[in-house]
Amino acid sequence: MKQYMQKLKTKKRLTILSTITFLSILLGIFYFSIITKNNKELVATSLAEFFLKIKKNQLNYQKSLIISTANITITSILIWLIGISIIGIPIIIATLIFKSFLLGFSFISIVYNYKIPGILLGIIYILPHIMKLFAHFVLSYYAISFSLMLFQLFFRKKEYNKKILMKRYTKMLITSLIISMFGTMIEIFAIPAILKIII
């Protein structure tokens, strides 16, 4: 019975987080349609500059790799630490919403500015971001689950093996970092090479 209840809680948690992620992506798509014409022009200019740099091979790969690696590492460790704090669930959900929102916004921006060809460009561009969002989603799920288990451990006096829980939680951080870094390598080195052929 306990295992059945635990499966229900797990399924419910995954459903809630998946719904939040999906709605945040849709919100990013919708938000682009309501921003001002000037802001849309700024987005168009940024995209044009980005694709021009790809075409002329002017991207600073080393700098991009350093910045992206630092951002991923800091964000992942912060999420991991927040999961231990018990009270950090709203912050974890907020970061997931933000990343999902950016994914939707980025995709629709490319499609809007490049029309039908933009669909292919947009899909190629967001592929590594989907990978990184997935890693962030998994880490967020485990951070929330860990936080709730700590709450039950300290306030409801439920029995958990702390060492095993901590070991699993740390493994999830490492796994998330590996997936995110793999996505980053694809984003920085593979995607520009593919886009250069298309644009």
Q: What is the pLDDT along the chain (199 residues), one digit of tens a residue?
A: 455 446 656 788 899 999 999 999 999 999 999 999 999 999 999 999 999 999 998 999 999 999 999 999 999 999 999 998 878 899 999 999 999 999 999 999 999 999 999 999 999 999 999 999 999 999 999 999 988 888 877 666 666 677 888 899 999 999 999 999 999 999 999 999 999 888 7
Question: What is the predicted pLDDT for the residue at 149?
Answer: 84
Is the separation of the CB atoms in 72 and 184 below 8 Å? yes
Nearest alpha-carbon partner for 85 in 178, 12, 173, 151? 151
Is the separation of the CB atoms in 110 and 170 below 8 Å? no
Enclosing H/E stretch for 8: helix 2-34
Question: What is the predicted pLDDT for the residue at 88?
Answer: 85
Total domains, the chain: 1
Question: What is the predicted pLDDT for the residue at 148?
Answer: 86
What are the b/e assignments for 131-153, b being 16+ CB within 10 Å?
bbbebbbebbbbbbbbbebbeee
State the DSSP code for 57: T
Q: How far apart are CA 106 and CA 47, in angstroms?
A: 10
Rounded (to 5) percent helix, strand, coil in the chain: 90, 0, 10
Hunting for tokens 């919403």 — which residue is that?
A: 97
The whole model's pTM is what? 0.92
Four-CA torsion 120, 126, 131, 136, nearest 10 degrees: -150
Nearest alpha-carbon partner for 149 in 76, 11, 157, 77? 157
Domain region containing 144: 2-198
Q: How far apart are CA 67 and CA 62, in angstroms?
A: 9
Question: What is the predicted pLDDT for the residue at 4?
Answer: 46
